[in-house]
Structure 1
């Protein structure tokens, strides 16, 4: 059986400029990509939650992006720990890669998963992808966290450099995905969710739009917003890309 590493998609649902995915694809092992519908989270949602339509559409897009390299997105429903027990038993797993999540519940979940892998002697590697700086990077000189935004922002800007928004070109390493048999993609509808189709605007980050964003965003009659909110929430666009496309045009995004 071939040795592989796992990449766990969470709030980073894209194949492009994905820090953890780039590291996994650069590991020297073939990468098996997966997404887990976390039972503990989903069971609290209403069955007509509109986010589930966007999630399903995004997972299908990732799966379609993997087909040209004879790979596919593995999808599961259940407890992440139980899913990973199955995968560890089925494959020769040489590592688990994912991007860090900072919600308290997610941190507890990830610690539980980490203990499972480490008990099997399998390394777990996590990366900063959702934000530009980790929380511990932006602290006062006495080592305590900021409680007022303005001095926090000043410190943030003083530490910022172009190096922080360099892309991780994971899309250029697609041939390093593990070949896999076509599996049926689990969609939200299969889990009982009612997902009527609705329009989700693509992010609007062209120079002219960004230049007028600070004023236009306050007028609902104008299409003045960036529409980037849901894409940043689900990670369909990299926060680094947003900065690369906006920082020289307007500081309002900082």
Structure 2
């Protein structure tokens, strides 16, 4: 570029005066105009695999609810009207222990009846347990067993029976945690029809003694028929 051209450019730049008012007016017009509205964004459409997962979950929920309903009602019959019928507990003859020591014996069997009681003269240191046996027929055999649990310092102080002493073999010994009184009719002797008493006496620790584990049995034969009875002594002292 020659010197002459440069000089002319400098002169033109120096002489230029920008129209400030016109420029401000153009800026104000531009600011007054609203910006064009943006187009609304369309809603997102779930991806295909998400739609498949949601449908599968819904089907699984329905199947689970149906399975629960079937399971909760299985094996339970619903009668008309929607009422439920409670099942009766099953019973079995094997649930009843056989007669004998520790088992369940009736208070009456054939011609023989019995009762256990605590003598009213028993006190806080001493007691007398009594077995009353009533037979409607003559007995050719009879064994009465009175069992006193060895709790509360129990020790024997004697025994008696209303039948003749010579007709019985009598013993008192500790067996299986009990003080056992036993009266056995001698061979060739008999027990007449009527009511007969067998009693065992014992000391115990001061106070009320628990007799819940005390019991008795009586076994005999009348006219060739075996009979057995037994029981306890209630909740006396």
More strand as a share of residues = 2
Do these two structures clear the TM 0.5 threshold for a shared fold by scoring above it? no
Please give the TM-score of this superposition, normalised by the length of structure 2. Answer: 0.21
Which TM-score applies when normalising by structure 1? 0.20
RCO higher in structure (CA 8 A, sep ≥6): 1
More helix by share: 1
